[in-house]
Amino acid sequence: MFKKLPGDEAQHLVTTTPDTAVVFRPAVLHTPAIITVLIFTWRLLAGLIRVIWRHPIAAIVVAVPVVTWALYGWPWGLGLVALVLVGLTAWFFLARASFLRWVGWRLLAFWRRIWVYRRHWQPVMIVSGLGRRIHGRDYLPRLVHVTCTSWADLVTVRMLTGQCVKDWADRVDHLAHGFGATSCRVSIARAGWLLLIIPRHDPLATPLPAVPIPDEATVGPVEIGRCEDGTPWKLKVHGTHVLVAGATGAGKGSIIWSTIRGLLPAVRAGLVQIWALDPKRMELSFGRTLFGDRYAATPDACADLLEAAVAVMQERADRFAGLQRTHTPTTEDPFVLVVVDEVAFLTAYQSDKGLKLRISAALATLTTQGRAVGVGVLAALQDPRKDVLSIRNLFPDKIALRLDESEQVDMVLGDGARDRGALADHISPIPAQGAGVAYVRLETSPDPIRVRAAYVSDADIRAMAEAVTA
């Protein structure tokens, strides 16, 4: 009783049954002051032992100068502190990365745990509805651990018994604003435990220049931009099909061109062929010379080119049958990447029913059977609804650039993606801030990650075309 309810509240606590006049009033026992003092002293000691146990290095850092001071006088204690500070400063300037990993981020995490999360935990939990106040007692999810990376705080939380991930995913806005951030993402750490990813700043806020053309001719995952954690964003194109969805001006072109750029050495080596379908006649026409005669803009020509890709695919399937199950690019059988800009022009918005059927059938055949024989599709579209692209589920990998409506996020990335923090509908429509920013789900994790494609300028595309034709 002492621990759970402040005495005043217990005194005034009265409950009755709904229908009868039965009154429950807790008996209040006045605790002698000495017991209160003993309990508080015990708690203080237990807290101290817990801090030393959990943070032994920090405890040693504090204890050693204090003991030195006590044993040998203040000049020695102060001298030791100065020595440590000089050592740390030198470490910071000489090897910043290791300093940050071992000291910097840990100190920041310690500070943010106390100053941001502990301080605001109770009000944020209660106001957001993730904690409960029952009869004056707060039942709060437990703040277990805070770690810092270069751009975000990773907060480990133990949920209240009976809570589920959706309870938290529905309140990411409350959590973000409650802890002074602009966004928050939720992922499962283990049963009953969550990891909240709360960015301190946006590492993708400024446009990225085009990734340098690789030296090596490879069809391996192509580096096309950067992930939020600073690692390169590598897009797999060989052995899969990729669908890029984004509203107008979201930066679909930068994903298409960055991919082509990364494949350029392989194109020159004859290991990759890019087949381009450009019904809008805007995006891909700019680097037309890169595609040779494998470029189509009119619906007729697009249908013919797609059927030619199907023919290549079927011829390979006949040849490979019983001999090999996966494709290795060679100059005889190069990887064929069919790039389609605004695929809806060829499917949903196509008025000629015959052409529409031919195109839809060819696309469905390529996306169901092309992977194993080295024919891939990279398609971009603005509106990801099923009636616009009925075969969207045949694309194993999907990228959600800025979208107009929140429902479209799950249509692209799969159920629950938005709840887990893929806020593609919140990406800034200002090109400098939001164009090329996207959410993707990697094979290794169900949690969406935020990425930004590098911007390939007109000059870059011209240089690429010259490099290929030279």
Positions at the binding site: 246-253
What type of residue sits at position 329?
A: P
Least separation, in Å, of the C-beta of 217 and ligand ATP? 25
Q: In this chain, which stretch among 57-65, 172-180, 247-255, 418-426 interacts with ligand ATP, using CB under 6 A?
A: 247-255
203 binds ligand ATP (CB under 6 A): no
* Residue 252 found at the interface with ligand ATP (CB under 6 A): yes
Residue 237 C-alpha from the chain's centroid: 20
Size of the site for ligand ATP (CB under 6 A): 16
Contacts of 250 (CB under 8 A, 6+ apart): 401, 402, 403, 427, 434, 435, 436, 438
- The residues near 213 (Cβ < 8 Å, ≥ 6 apart) are 261, 262, 264, 265, 464, 467
The answer to whether residues 255 and 244 touch, using CB atoms and an 8 Å cutoff, is yes
Using rule CB under 6 A, residue 436 touches ligand ATP: yes
Query: Which of the stretches 51-59, 117-125, 231-239, 430-438 binds ligand ATP when contact is defined by CB under 6 A?
Result: 430-438
CB of 392 to ligand ATP, least distance (A): 17
The least CB distance from residue 245 to ligand ATP, in Å, is 10
Is 232 a binding residue for ligand ATP by CB under 6 A? The answer is no
Positive or negative CA dihedral for 109, 115, 117, 118?
A: positive
Within 346-405, which residues bind ligand ATP (CB under 6 A)? Answer: 382
Nearest distance from C-beta of residue 228 to ligand ATP, angstroms? 14
Q: What are phi and psi of 145, to 5 degrees?
A: -155, 145
Coil, helix or strand at residue 218: coil
Nearer to ligand ATP, 250 or 403 (CB): 250
For 436: left if phi > 0, alpha if psi spans -120 to 50, otherwise beta; the answer is left
* CB 381 within 8 Å of CB 342: yes
Report the alpha-carbon angle 352-408-228, nearest 5.
125
| Interface with ligand ATP, residue 249, by CB under 6 A | yes
The residue from 77, 131, 178, 207 that contacts ligand ATP (CB under 6 A) is 207
Residue nearest to ligand ATP (CB): 436
Distances (CA, A) of 335 to 20, 204, 213, 367, 451: 80, 32, 18, 14, 26
Smallest separation, CB 296 to ligand ATP (Å): 18
Q: Which stretch binds ligand ATP (CB under 6 A): 170-178, 246-254, 362-370, 407-415?
A: 246-254
Q: Which stretch binds ligand ATP (CB under 6 A): 70-78, 165-173, 245-253, 388-396?
A: 245-253
CB of 463 to ligand ATP, least distance (A): 17
Q: What residue type is assigned to position 457 of the chain?
A: S
408 binds ligand ATP (CB under 6 A): no
From 242, 250, 271, 377, residue interacting with ligand ATP (rule: CB under 6 A): 250
- Binding part of the chain for ligand ATP, among 131-139, 180-188, 242-250, 368-376 by CB under 6 A, reads 242-250
Quote the CA–CA distance of 425 and 247 in Å, as a whole number. Answer: 10
Q: Give min distance, CB of 258 to ligand ATP, in A.
A: 8
Question: Least Å distance between CB 398 and ligand ATP?
Answer: 15
Kindly state whether residue 248 participates in binding ligand ATP, applying the rule CB under 6 A: yes
Give, as ranges, the residues between 259 and 288 that touch ligand ATP (CB under 6 A): 283
Please give the structure tokens belonging to residue 303. Answer: 């249908």
Residue 253 interacts with ligand ATP (CB under 6 A): yes or no = yes
Angle between helices 458-469 and 252-268 (to 10 degrees): 20
Among the listed residues 245, 435, 449, 464, the single contact to ligand ATP using CB under 6 A: 435
Q: Please list the residues that pair with 296 across neighbouring strands.
A: 277
Cα 104 to Cα 86: distance, rounded to the nearest angstrom: 15
List, in sequence order, the alpha helices (H) in 14-139: 33-54, 56-72, 74-94, 96-99, 105-112, 119-128
Residue 297 engages ligand ATP in binding (rule: CB under 6 A): no
Binding-site residue set for ATP: 246-253
**Residue 455 binds ligand ATP (CB under 6 A):** yes
CA contacts within 13 A on the Cβ side of 174: 17
Between β-strands 397-400 and 242-245, what pairing exists: parallel, antiparallel or unpaired? parallel
Provide, rounded to whole angstroms, the least separation between the CB of residue 431 and ligand ATP.
Answer: 4
Question: Which spans of this chain sit near ligand ATP (rule: CB under 6 A)?
Answer: 207, 246, 248-254, 283, 382, 431, 435-436, 453, 455
